[in-house]
Chain A
Amino acid sequence: MKAKQIQRGAALALLLLASACSTANGPDPARGYNEPVFGFNDGLDRGLLGPVARGWDWLMPGFVLTGVDNFFRNLDVPRTFVNDLLQAKPLPAVHDLGRFVVNTTVGVVGLVDVASMLRIQDNREDFGQTLGVWGTPAGAFMLVPVLPFRCTVRDWLAYPVDLAMDPAFAAGFPFQYVYGSGVADVVNRRAINDPEIEENRREAIDWYVFVRDACLQDREGEVTDGAEPTAAEEEDLYGVEE
């Protein structure tokens, strides 16, 4: 029964991926599904996550927020390192290994970002990017209720692999702990970025489209590592039509 469900899920995901490649309606063929999910997640953010994060910000001095964020970003580095290797990027892999060693030791389990002070490159890689680097298309824009971490079919398919590379998970900590720390990370990051999130929400011409495109463009940029766009993309973006 369970195997069948997984099969069905995989088939649905493949369908979404394929429909995104063939559709003429841009990267959001499942908008009818995504927009309500966005509405739900946004409501959760306004009603719960935002207020909790601002409460946390009010309680804690700034250096605590920074320290907590440094701690969690340091735990992301093993995942980045593995994906550096999977993407055949040896030099960034060396930088990231160095970053992890320095921050975990001199930086007191990652609380202080000594590596950045030493100007050691800061890379962010995950399995979704690795799939993208080797040619997997991003697929359709896709949101999931409650979880705000990913926004394309490819990245959701890659998400379990990223979770497995979480050091807490790999070290055999129970699931509750892994999710608990994930929630703490989300609240802390939400607190740090609160002014920007609120400003963008207030000022965006269309909040849903703004968030969707920011996420899609950002992911695309992360996969290509900011490589030059093609001539056609250049012309589309920067050619003036009188």
Chain B
Amino acid sequence: MESRSSGLWMALALLLGAAPAFAAPADDARATMEKTVADVLQVLDDAALSLQTKRDHIQAIAFERFDFVTMSKLVLKRDWKKFDATQRQRFVEQFREHLSARYGENLGKYEKEKVEVTTHHLETNGDVSVKTVIRGGKFDGTPVDYRLRQGSGWQVIDVTIENVSLVSSFRTQFADVLAKSGPTGVLKKLEERNAARAAAKAKNV
């Protein structure tokens, strides 16, 4: 009797211990996304911050939670090989600047909006998709899906807004520039965009 009940306890303990392991990947990724959303909303709700400070804070969050190296590889796909080591590094830096600044700009102006994390699921290649929906404001009901991959922790590798994947959108845009003017053309375009934005920002401050 004694041994049976201790066996039961053992089994229960094992089950309880094992439960997080079963749930792990997808749930961890979702938790990461929930934290990211909560962090962004906290910045947006902080009335003491100026619009520019909000944007900078959100840009900093994007810097941390997005895997820009993987995103760059996905966006350039086969053309990644055409970039030498220095060009790759420059591309990742410029692309990170471009994306995180726009993430900050886009979210920074939201006031009434909330973001609700709805569902998540494990993809066949081990990535996790987390679906969110914007609530309130003029974008009420807009679906925003994040795809996360595990590297050093879970990081975002794509964002799909209303069916439009960011990776896919940039890939076709860059493919065109690449075909016309190669890696230098792509880097020049990105650097121009970033410089123009920085100049506009300096003018507004």
**Interface of A with B (CB < 8 Å)?**
66, 116, 122, 192, 195, 199, 202-206, 209-210, 213-214, 217-218, 220-222, 226, 231, 234-242
Contact = CB atoms under 8 A, between A and B. Distances in A.
Interface of B: 70, 73-74, 77-78, 80-81, 98, 102, 105-106, 109, 123-125, 127, 138, 140-141, 143, 147, 157-158, 162-165, 167-170, 172-174, 176-177, 189-190, 193, 196-197
Contact of A222 (B163, B167, B177): B163
A50 to B, nearest CB: 18
A95 to B, nearest CB: 13
Residue among B140, B162, B163 facing the most chain A CB atoms (10 A cut-off): B163
A192 B123 contact: no
Given A203-B193, A231-B124, A221 B177 contact: no
A116 B141 contact: yes
A210 B125 contact: no
Contacts of A220: 163
Contact of A238 (B74, B190, B197): B74
Contacts of A122: 141
B105 A199 contact: yes
A210 B173 contact: yes
Given A116-B140, A204-B173, A234 B124 contact: yes
Contacts of B106: 199
A161 to B, nearest CB: 22
A237 B105 contact: no
